[in-house]
Chains A and B, each alone.
Chain A
Amino acid sequence: KQEVTQIPAALSVPEGENLVLNCSFTDSAIYNLQWFRQDPGKGLTSLLLIQSSQREQTSGRLNASLDKSSGRSTLYIAASQPGDSATYLCAVFPQGGSEKLVFGKGTKLTVNP
């Protein structure tokens, strides 16, 4: 059974700092991995999607890497801003026809001005 773990559960940094959020998954048989952000009381916004054949994806100040063999992904946020404060969720789409995204519990990020 696929399980996704995110460390740390919460992170507080000063504005301008570069930071890394970690995600690990127990079964390397995945189609893809997706990072989302969720603002309080809001829905999920997709940030980056990494296919299983890819090593990384970049969007603006965000860079996500994937090491499928070791079951790890990282989300790197450069030059953090207060507007980056949110909960970041990692999710994997397992192979094998289960057709469901398996989520981690998220990392709550606070960027202090």
Chain B
Amino acid sequence: DTAVSQTPKYLVTQMGNDKSIKCEQNLGHDTMYWYKQDSKKFLKIMFSYNNKELIINETVPNRFSPKSPDKAHLNLHINSLELGDSAVYFCASSQEEVGYTFGSGTRLTVV
């Protein structure tokens, strides 16, 4: 039973398209995140939601828009995709006393 699941696992799309990545957690955690791992494998936070409320919005182009319909879901929509958006996107959830749990990642390739 996967704790943090994100779909799709792989996404190949053309420049200019709009795409979404979905994430769901069944751990009952209050906080969910989107992280981006670039080609150099460095992980950097993009967004954080706590109980459906946006609490962190790092310096991310406004083409990226997160949406949290409920505490267990955090989706990421990307408009007008660019080549530089190619990366692995990780969803995660956390609760202070148990730490973070990450999804398996979505490898986005923009061609």
Interface residues of A, Cβ cutoff 8 Å to B: 31-32, 34, 36, 38, 41-46, 49, 51, 87, 89, 91, 93, 98-101, 103, 105-106
A87 contacts B56, CB within 8 Å? no
Q: A89-B43, A100-B48, A100-B56 are in contact. Are A49 and B99 (CB under 8 A)?
A: yes
Taking residues whose C-beta sits less than 8 angstroms from the other chain, chain B's interface range is: 20 to 34
**CB of B13, distance to nearest CB on chain A (Å):** 19
Q: A42-B104, A42-B105, A43-B90 are in contact. Are A103 and B99 (CB under 8 A)?
A: no
Closest residue to B107 on the A side, CB-wise?
A41
6 smallest beta-carbon distances between A and B, as pairs: A43-B104, A49-B99, A44-B102, A103-B43, A100-B45, A34-B99
Q: How far is the CA of A105 from the CA of B97 in the complex (A)?
A: 24
- Which residues does chain A contribute within 8 Å of B102, judged by CB atoms? 36, 43-46
Which of chain B's residues have a CB closer than 8 A to the CB of A99?
31, 48, 50, 55-56
